[in-house]
Structure 1
Amino acid sequence: MDPKEIIDFLQTAARSVGAEVTSPWFYLQLGLILAAAGIAYAAEAALRARFDTTALTMRWPVPLRRLARVLIGSFSTALFALLIIAARVVMAHSTWPSRSYLLVVAAKLAIAWLLIRLFTSVIRNAFLVKVISLSAWLVAALSIIGQLDPAIEMLDSVSVVLGGLRLTPLLVIKLALLLILALWLTNIASNFAESRINRSTDLTPSIQVLLVKMIRLGLMVVAVAIALSAVGINLSALAVFSGAVGVGIGIGLQKIVANFISGIILLADKSVKPGDLVTIGDSSGRISAMKTRYISVAAGDGREFLIPNEDLVTQKVTNWTYTDKNTLVKVNFATNYDADPRRVCKLAIEIAAAAPRAIKSRTPNCILVEFAEAGMKFSLTFWIADPDGMDNVKSDVMLALWEAFKRESIRVPYPVREIRVRGGTLPVDTTVEVSS
């Protein structure tokens, strides 16, 4: 369509609109449409105030509950369409049918929107519902007013040729809609496969995550290929972009690709898996999820550390539950030189053995480590069945040691500082002991 044809079309449309606006029947139809819209809105507000949809459909199945919510939400549209149809019938019997054409258009648009809302009620994604609803209603509106074919021709008339590929706005719109539909169906299929895989007791958690990722990726590739083929794009025509994509991956997407490959390696070698207790650098916690780019490590204080997969491959990782969940707990303490070290070791072993989470089959051990300046240093070790909450276990044992030392009159050493003050108000060479 050249510029002259566009100008002629706009001039013709402007003359038609001007002739209609000057007609009194146009304002009569516009008034009826506004009145019907006001009545429909007021009726829906009264219906919502009288009935509580949530309480009414509480025990209904989920599909019926969603359908009821959509029907009540579209009540104003349905009532508006009925009122407009009634007004159209009255005007068609009272005057020429051409004088109520605007009512016909309004009724068709309302019915089209109502049907679209009913069909999209099965979609749970709110954003996807809006995109599909608005796109379908726009196509229906253009078809109702008879401008769908001209709009398609105009969108297909502008093109950009890249290699052997001819890109037009119409092609881009079709491809976008098909991709949205294909990816939505892919998400449903992958979620179904994930639920079946997660229920399988024969697969380890890492294998489950690996299978889910492979299925999602494979379905996504198939969906994109089908969408491209459906709009007539030959996949070989995209070969011109392969060089640019390769350079982009090599330069700008190094970390993304590295994290993706590292995630596949981690899932395949089973070095870490969901539920493991790990320490990576300064971050400690239990692995709650393994994603394509990172793993999520949940700490005990409500925080979650998102650690790139590449770090787990290239850095030192402490996996407390890799092959055995049994964990050695080490408690360091000291006493003064007045205490009997053998009695101290025996008392510490008894306290560790009495700990609720200590493994009874493994006897605790306590050794004298050093004769330090401030006192004797000891190391108490014992085993627990699970590293989760290890700090709490250590705290309980240390509190029990403190109570036992108080009971047995065993003193814990503390540093003593001497300050010699020369001159001033204190006598010369006076020694002041400051304990801390």
Structure 2
Amino acid sequence: MDKYTDPAFILSHLSALWQWLTQKALTIDTLVEMAVIAIGLLIAPLVARPLIKRLKRLLDHHDWRDRLPGKMISAFLPLITYLIAILVLRIGSVGITKYGISAFLIDTATRLLTAWIIIRFTTAMLRDSNWARLLSITAWTVAALHILNLLGPTIELLDQLAITLGGINVSLLLLIKGVIVFTVLLKLASSVSVLMEKRILSLEELTPSVQVLLSKALKVTLLTVAVVVALGSLGINISAFAFIGGAIGVGIGFGLQKVVSNLISGVILLLDKSIKPGDVVGVGNSYGKIQSLGARYVSVVTRDGYEYLIPNEDLITQQVINWSFSDRLVRLKIGVGVSYDTDLHKAMDLIVQSARGIDRVLDKPGPVCQLKNFGDSAVDLELRIWIGDPDNGVANVSSAVRIAIWDAFKEHGIEIPFPQRDVHIKSQSNPN
């Protein structure tokens, strides 16, 4: 690599390049070819623009825009300009060869444009536009170097630009290969994991916890295999990175305790099935339905639309109310006070009948009303009802029951008392 920084080496190559430019590049034949290429690249957009507009209007008037023919036409439209440029270059090539002028540069430009059209059309069918663009540029670069007979020298040059790290010869070629291999394998592993996860989630015989556990384990396994295969394909001895394990262990011991704790807690939650998607839970002041289980946190969506991300460790170490752990039956208690002048048997019957009139209140087990206490201002009754859908809310059904009781009491003249205080003022006579 030292020779590439040697001034004598650089000057000798610059001199050779100047010699090539003056003797071969800057000739009449070359200038004519470059003029033909420039004319072709200028004419192509002017001719292609109206044609592309017409094809777009034609595509918009058909209902098969999202079908395969429509997608192929949509992918083909941006390439019309290059096709016209190739046509103009071929016509120019035929024209100048009749006058004995070489068409090497024109033929080379035509081959480069053809390779770009084929690669761009193929990659345009991919859903991810960023990946399609990256893949097309990479493939065209390799194809262009091959067409120009520069692929071999370029690979040799990149391989010579290397440094040694820890006994490993790291060249620029190795880094480029590593980036390409890692990118392709990680993308492939991610795509396969998404497809397998959809397949696992469609298996109704598996519980939600097992589905999440299998999908997460599969994703981690595929990514690990992708990394190992990528390192092996590059000829890197994995044992050379054994020291990284110790560094990671030290990092976990100091700075990643909470992260690892949440990861392990997430695995425990999935294994013991105490928390699963769809459960209605209460953790501290957070109450809602579990939307998803993540590697680090659990997503809980409340009835208000708020989404709380609760760390997995909190679900292990704190008290959690799972309204639907063993079953989805939930009992609600509603306190009701009546006057001491009230017929208690009638009031209790009205309370029970009011609860039975609410759709979400279950008949089995049915509502029950009990006398809880003789209070200072009222007789305290308590209604106990059962619901089977806590994910639809608890406060709303309690409110509906209270309104029904209020209407029933109003209809039958039963008073709901409120606290009262009697104030007695003693007047003291004037001794004078």
Under TM normalisation by the shorter chain, which class is it? Answer: 0.7 to 0.9
* TM-score normalized with structure 1 length: 0.85
Given candidates 22, 26, 36, the residue that maps to 2:43 is 36
Q: Distance in 2 between matches of 1:81 and 1:249?
A: 59
Secondary structure, counterpart of 1:302 in structure 2: coil
Contact 2:45 2:81 in 1 (8 A): no
User: In structure 2, what is the equivalent of residue 106 of structure 1?
Assistant: 109
- Once the two structures are superposed, residues 13-69 of structure 1 have per-residue CA deviations (whole angstroms, 9 ceiling, x without a partner) of 466557746864265235313323323541453234432258352474x5x543332
User: In structure 2, what is the equivalent of residue 247 of structure 1?
Assistant: 250
Contact 1:163 1:240 in 2 (8 A): no
- Once the two structures are superposed, residues 374-417 of structure 1 have per-residue CA deviations (whole angstroms, 9 ceiling, x without a partner) of 43333211111221222221111111111112212233334568
User: In structure 2, what is the equivalent of residue 200 of structure 1?
Assistant: 203
Amino-acid identity (%): 35
Contact 1:53 1:69 in 2 (8 A): no
Amino acid corresponding to residue 413 of structure 2 in structure 1: S
Contact 1:32 1:87 in 2 (8 A): no
User: In structure 2, what is the equivalent of residue 401 of structure 1?
Assistant: 405
Contact 1:29 1:102 in 2 (8 A): no
Contact 2:361 2:385 in 1 (8 A): yes
Question: Does 2:383 match 1:380?
Answer: yes
Which runs of 5 or more structure 1 residues have no equivalent in the other structure?
421-436
Q: Distance in 1 between matches of 2:258 and 2:51?
A: 53
Contact 1:44 1:76 in 2 (8 A): no
Counterpart mapping for 1:47-58 below 5 A: 47-52=54-59, 55-58=62-65
User: In structure 2, what is the equivalent of residue 215 of structure 1?
Assistant: 218
Secondary structure, counterpart of 1:279 in structure 2: strand
Deviation (angstroms), 1:200: 2.3
User: In structure 2, what is the equivalent of residue 120 of structure 1?
Assistant: 123
Amino acid corresponding to residue 320 of structure 2 in structure 1: V
Q: Distance in 2 between matches of 1:54 and 1:291?
A: 45
Secondary structure, counterpart of 2:335 in structure 1: strand
Question: Does 2:347 match 1:344?
Answer: yes
Q: Distance in 2 between matches of 1:8 and 1:304?
A: 67
User: In structure 1, what is the equivalent of residue 427 of structure 2?
Assistant: none
- Once the two structures are superposed, residues 108-160 of structure 1 have per-residue CA deviations (whole angstroms, 9 ceiling, x without a partner) of 22212112123324532222212212222222333334443343333323333
Question: Does 2:145 match 1:139?
Answer: no
CA RMSD, aligned part only?
2.9
* TM-score normalized with structure 2 length: 0.86
User: In structure 2, what is the equivalent of residue 280 of structure 1?
Assistant: 283
CA 1:33–1:382: 2 relative to 1, 3 Å: same
User: In structure 1, what is the equivalent of residue 95 of structure 2?
Assistant: 90
Amino acid corresponding to residue 31 of structure 1 in structure 2: A
Question: Does 2:376 match 1:366?
Answer: no
Q: Using the TM superposition, name which of 301-310 and 370-379 deviates more.
A: 370-379
Deviation (angstroms), 1:172: 1.6
Secondary structure, counterpart of 2:292 in structure 1: strand
Amino acid corresponding to residue 223 of structure 2 in structure 1: M
Which runs of 5 or more structure 2 residues have no equivalent in the other structure?
425-432
Q: Distance in 1 between matches of 2:240 and 2:293?
A: 36
Given candidates 328, 331, 338, the residue that maps to 1:328 is 331
Q: Distance in 1 between matches of 2:165 and 2:61?
A: 53
Contact 1:33 1:103 in 2 (8 A): no
Q: Distance in 2 between matches of 1:79 and 1:92?
A: 20
Secondary structure, counterpart of 1:329 in structure 2: strand
Q: Distance in 2 between matches of 1:391 and 1:27?
A: 79
User: In structure 2, what is the equivalent of residue 425 of structure 1?
Assistant: none
Q: Distance in 2 between matches of 1:189 and 1:238?
A: 27
Aligned residues: 417
Counterpart mapping for 1:170-185 below 5 A: 170-185=173-188
Contact 1:276 1:319 in 2 (8 A): yes
Q: Distance in 1 between matches of 2:42 and 2:189?
A: 45
CA 1:403–1:89: 2 relative to 1, 3 Å: same
Amino acid corresponding to residue 245 of structure 1 in structure 2: I
Secondary structure, counterpart of 1:287 in structure 2: strand
Given candidates 31, 50, 74, the residue that maps to 1:69 is 74
Given candidates 266, 275, 299, the residue that maps to 1:296 is 299
Contact 2:34 2:105 in 1 (8 A): no
Q: Distance in 2 between matches of 1:395 and 1:275?
A: 24
Contact 2:278 2:289 in 1 (8 A): yes
